[in-house]
């Protein structure tokens, strides 16, 4: 390759080496948003904690931009934060903090190269933590573990490592180790520099990075006595057990580097940030739907992993988040929309830092670009230039909650239809229709009931069309075909109902329970009934 094309490929590959694109994932209340703040604070992307999520009266740049999120104190949408650190560019994809939004988290994991998993020091591996570990393993995303809240009472460090290894067959390899039990943290030992201890002085309110002091081993032994001695003994036990970081095992998903700290106090966060540069993988070749891989030096390609409307209340726009997978993105370039085969202009391209955004002229593999007013784009779409590329489709989670949606004011039917279509395209819920009910009474299908709360909130406040939701007695969805849908519509022996998913016209069969689904399968042997990815299995 020569000329401009060769320079672009070389530039893309060279810039990709500097990128680290990762997600922060956890069980609710493990401190995910707090860690996001702390990472940005240590990278000097913000000047004080609270600036990312608008806490303590600061607007700053807010990733929990939705009013419902602010009222609940949880994240229900994902956000993108990009900042520089040590001559690298870090793309942090914040994710929903509630289990009802597992599907959005899954989409984010399709756009990252690594994940930081938070574990609460007191609670250990919680239900959502287990599910997310499984999703990361399924997607081949290597995981760095951060044991959070070590400044509060909790479990023993060795016990937490044993739990990770026994439940996931994943070797935990500590990179930092606490001096002092949970709730009595005296400092941290970087296992790569065991001859010293790092002692922290917390800033008032945790608003600034904690002051860090390196204490020589001899002084640490004299001042911390039993706590230091215990930490040294535990590290010797771990070394004897072979718990040392191995990069190949980490990238293969067989081990997880472990860090300890307290995000709210900014303790141990710098070491985690350094690890994201030193240990986490840079963007690499990406698997294609038809087999093979797209190398980072190939012409531009990107994956749409999220679509979100009305982030800017002043403009009521729609933004598609695109992970750059290969090549160089240049604002204004015309690319091909793989789903339609049509050209797509990229005139309005933004980089996003929470709620704030700015125009982006160039982006490289690993970066996330926000394409504004991209009405033609859907979650899972591929954009490319040069040689055609299509990335594997995004799997859809099996919904477990269903409700008929109707406009509260029939005079707002136009706004109702537009709003429901918009939320379906964003993936806020799945929208189902049937010949029996008609498209005027769509059925909303959700992984968790809080998704319905988001729908009602946004329909009223963004689309000026309040809705009434009528729950349906179904809790199980199976993928079927036209023949299976017709059989379910005709049978009187089994309680169930056939639907078509509006987004992709796929046929779904809904049942009240697994027993009803099994009864239908016995009545019509050979009928297609396939399990979707289950969020709660």
**Helix (H/G/I), strand (E/B), else coil: 110:** coil
Return the higher-pLDDT residue of 54 and 320. 320
Cβ atoms < 10 Å from Cβ of 518? 13
The pairing of strands 114-120 and 143-148 is parallel
Share of the chain above pLDDT 90, in %: 60
Averaged pLDDT, 122-138 = 83
With a cut of 70, say whether residue 200 has pLDDT above it: yes
Query: What phi and psi values does residue 525 have, to the nearest 5 degrees?
Result: -60, 145
pLDDT of residue 301: 98
Decide: residue 493, CB within 10 A, 0-12 exposed, 13-18 middle, 19+ buried: exposed
Residue ranges of the binding site: 94-98
| Encoded tokens for 421 | 């279509």
Query: What phi and psi values does residue 226 have, to the nearest 5 degrees?
Result: -60, -40
Confidence of residue 402 (pLDDT cuts 50, 70, 90): very high
CB-hemisphere CA count at 13 Å for 18?
15
Averaged pLDDT, 55-79 = 47
| Encoded tokens for 178 | 């606490």
Listed in order, strand segments (DSSP E) in 68-167 are 79-85, 88-94, 114-120, 143-148
Rg over CA atoms, the chain: 25
Return the higher-pLDDT residue of 137 and 188. 188
With a cut of 70, say whether residue 4 has pLDDT above it: no
User: How far, in Å, CA of 149 to CA of 182, rounded?
Assistant: 8
pLDDT of residue 56: 44
User: How far, in Å, CA of 60 to CA of 47, rounded?
Assistant: 10
Residues 6 or more apart whose Cβ sits within 8 Å of residue 200:
187, 188, 210, 211, 212, 213, 265, 266, 267
With a cut of 50, say whether residue 410 has pLDDT above it: yes
User: How far, in Å, CA of 372 to CA of 369, rounded?
Assistant: 9
Q: Which candidate, 420, 465, 464, places its Cα nearest to that of 443?
A: 420
Between the alpha carbon of residue 82 and those of residues 33, 227, 392, the distances in Å are 15, 38, 25
Residues 6 or more apart whose Cβ sits within 8 Å of residue 379:
107, 304, 305, 306, 307, 394, 425, 426, 427
| Encoded tokens for 297 | 């030096």
Averaged pLDDT, 38-67 = 55
User: How far, in Å, CA of 384 to CA of 215, rounded?
Assistant: 53
Element (H, E) at 22: strand 19-26
Averaged pLDDT, 182-209 = 87
Residue owning tokens 């399968």: 521
Beta bridge partners of 531: 478
pLDDT of residue 311: 59
Q: What is the pLDDT of residues 307-323, one digit of tens each?
A: 887 655 555 677 899 99
Contact between residue 83 and residue 461 where contact means Cβ atoms under 8 Å apart: no
Domains in the chain (CATH in brackets) are: 19-278 (3.40.50.300), 286-384 (2.40.30.10), 397-534 (3.30.70.3280)
pLDDT of residue 461: 87
Element (H, E) at 239: helix 217-240
pLDDT of residue 316: 60
Residue ranges of the binding site for GTP: 94-98
Helices 269-278/32-42 angle, 10° precision: 80
Burial 185-220 (b: 16+ CB within 10 A, else e): bbbbbbbeeeebbbbbebbeebbebbebeebeeeeb
Q: Which candidate, 437, 430, 441, places its Cα nearest to that of 508?
A: 430
Element (H, E) at 293: strand 293-294
CB-hemisphere CA count at 13 Å for 93?
27
The average confidence (pLDDT) of the chain is: 86
Range 464-467 contact pairs with CB under 8 angstroms and sequence separation of 24 or more: 464/412, 464/415, 465/407, 465/408, 465/409, 465/412, 465/415, 465/416, 465/419, 466/407, 466/408, 466/409, 466/412, 467/405, 467/406, 467/407, 467/408, 467/416
**Helix (H/G/I), strand (E/B), else coil: 216:** strand
| Encoded tokens for 98 | 């509630």
Element (H, E) at 499: strand 497-501
Cβ atoms < 10 Å from Cβ of 225? 11
Q: What is the pLDDT of residues 390-399, one digit of tens each?
A: 999 887 778 8
Residues 6 or more apart whose Cβ sits within 8 Å of residue 412:
464, 465, 466
| Encoded tokens for 280 | 């986490």
């Amino acid at each position: 390759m020569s000329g401009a094309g060769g320079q672009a490929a070389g530039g893309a590959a060279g810039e990709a080496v500097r990128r680290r694109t990762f997600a922060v994932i956890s069980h609710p209340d493990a401190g995910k948003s707090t860690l996001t703040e702390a990472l940005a604070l240590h990278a000097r992307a913000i000047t004080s904690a609270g600036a990312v999520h608008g806490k303590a009266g600061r607007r700053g740049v807010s990733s929990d931009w939705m009013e419902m999120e602010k009222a609940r104190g949880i994240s229900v949408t994902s956000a993108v934060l990009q900042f520089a650190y040590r001559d690298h560019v870090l793309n942090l994809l914040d994710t929903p903090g509630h289990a009802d939004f597992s599907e959005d988290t899954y989409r984010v994991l399709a756009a990252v190269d690594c994940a930081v998993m938070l574990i609460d020091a007191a609670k250990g591996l919680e239900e959502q933590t287990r599910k997310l570990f499984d999703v990361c393993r399924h997607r081949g995303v290597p995981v760095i573990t951060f044991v959070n809240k070590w400044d509060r009472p909790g479990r023993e460090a060795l016990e937490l490592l044993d739990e990770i290894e026994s439940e996931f067959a994943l070797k935990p390899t500590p990179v930092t180790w606490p001096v002092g039990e949970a709730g009595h943290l005296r400092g941290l030992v970087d296992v790569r520099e065991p001859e010293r201890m790092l002692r922290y002085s917390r800033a008032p309110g945790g608003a600034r990075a904690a002051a860090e002091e390196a204490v020589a081993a001899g002084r640490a032994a004299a001042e911390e006595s039993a706590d230091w001695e215990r930490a040294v003994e535990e590290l010797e036990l771990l070394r004897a057990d072979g718990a040392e970081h191995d990069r190949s095992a980490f990238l293969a998903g067989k081990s997880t580097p472990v860090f300890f700290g307290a995000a709210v106090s900014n303790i141990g966060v710098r070491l985690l940030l350094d690890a994201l540069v030193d240990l986490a993988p840079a963007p690499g070749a990406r698997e294609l739907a038809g087999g093979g891989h797209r190398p980072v030096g190939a012409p531009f390609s990107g994956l749409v992993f999220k679509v979100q409307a009305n982030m800017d209340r002043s403009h009521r726009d729609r933004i598609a988040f695109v992970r750059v997978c290969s090549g160089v993105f240049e604002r204004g370039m015309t690319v091909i929309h793989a789903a339609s085969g049509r050209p797509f202009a990229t005139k309005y391209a933004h980089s996003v830092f929470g709620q704030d955004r700015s125009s982006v002229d160039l982006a490289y593999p690993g970066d996330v670009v926000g394409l504004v007013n991209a009405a033609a784009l859907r979650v899972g779409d591929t954009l490319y230039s040069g040689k055609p590329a299509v990335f594997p489709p995004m799997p859809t989670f099996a919904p477990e909650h269903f409700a008929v949606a109707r406009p509260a004011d029939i005079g707002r039917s136009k706004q109702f239809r537009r709003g429901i279509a918009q939320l379906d395209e964003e993936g806020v819920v799945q929208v189902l229709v049937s010949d029996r009910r008609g498209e005027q009474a769509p059925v909303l299908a959700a992984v968790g009931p809080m998704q319905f709360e988001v729908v009602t909130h946004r329909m009223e406040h963004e689309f000026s069309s309040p809705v009434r939701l009528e729950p349906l007695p179904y809790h199980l969805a199976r993928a079927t075909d036209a023949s299976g849908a017709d059989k379910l519509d005709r049978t009187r022996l089994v309680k169930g109902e056939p639907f078509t998913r509006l987004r992709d016209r796929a046929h779904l069969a809904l049942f009240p329970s697994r027993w009803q689904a099994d009864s239908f399968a016995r009545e019509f042997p050979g009928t297609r009934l396939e399990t979707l990815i289950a969020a709660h299995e």
